[in-house]
Amino acid sequence: MIAFLTVGILAPVLARHDYDDQDLGIALKPPLWSGGDLAYPLGTDEFGRDTLSRLIYGARISLLVGVLGLLVGGGVGAALGLIAGYAGGRLDAFLMRVTDTTLSFPIILLAILLVVILGSSLLTVVFAVALVLWARFARVIRGEVLSIRERDFVAQARIAGSSSVRIILVHLFPNVLNTLVVLLSLQIGWVIIVEASLSFLGAGVPPPTPTWGSMIAEGRDYIASAWWVSFFPGLAILVTVLAFNLCGDWLRDALDPTMRQL
């Protein structure tokens, strides 16, 4: 995770070549240990572009989509979950039906529709991710609030004359913060996979900006002769998503008092 964040933030400093520098004279050069060149340790693609540099810049795109998607989707979902769980009644029922509808809608189809309407761009991908992601947060946070709102300290706050906004912000939100942190750590891996899937299908960030998904797609025709073009971005996705999922599992156990007692 530290490596992923560092590479994403410092991509222009760490990359030895520009991600779109092309040299057909060195197209499909193999990695260093397979007879390649030290200047291109992970080989090159069909246009002679450095695979390592494109991997580094691809991490920046995944980081941007992950952070922006989680901030927008997670923020909206947590807010709606708090409101629905505390208010109850018709408002809760309405918001949960909207949540169920959103969760049932295929993310890939939604993203493709948005690309057709808005055009392919980084913001379109972020918007598509946030449009589905909020429902996951709303459903979980609402379930937490339903149990917390019945506790004595919430009833005492009502008796003391606290407003609904104050109860939500001061009494409910701090008690669901642990759950929110765990959700954020678990969902970032899902966001990275969604971004890579959209880029693979051509509905993500448009070229020449490199993304891990588009790099895999570009290497499909060279699997037999130049396996490294698709292999290394696939490996990057695997390692990064696994790291965030393991971190999320650890956070869930670390923030659960019953698990700490065990």
Host domain of residue 148: 66-261
Domain total of the chain: 1
What tokens does 89 get? 């009644």
**From CA 130, how far away is CA 143, in angstroms rounded?**
20
Residue 188 lies in a domain: yes
What tokens does 190 get? 């899902």
Residue 141 lies in a domain: yes
Residue 164 lies in a domain: yes
Mean pLDDT of 138-155: 88
Residue 185 lies in a domain: yes
Ranking 35-44, 114-123, 150-159 by mean pLDDT, the lowest is 114-123
**From CA 191, how far away is CA 64, in angstroms rounded?**
10
Residue 124 lies in a domain: yes
pLDDT tens, residue by residue, 99-146: 998 888 887 788 788 877 887 788 888 888 888 889 999 999 999 898
What tokens does 14 get? 């760490």
Q: Using DSSP, state whether 25 is helix, strand or coil.
A: helix
Residue 44 lies in a domain: no
CATH classification at residue 162: 1.10.3720.10
Residue 38 lies in a domain: no
Q: Are 153 and 166 in contact (CB under 8 A)?
A: no
pTM of the model: 0.85
Q: Are 69 and 126 in contact (CB under 8 A)?
A: yes
243, pLDDT greater than 60: yes
Angle at 152 between CA 148 and CA 154, to 5 degrees: 60
Mean pLDDT of 21-25: 87
pLDDT tens, residue by residue, 72-106: 999 999 999 999 998 888 999 999 999 998 888 88
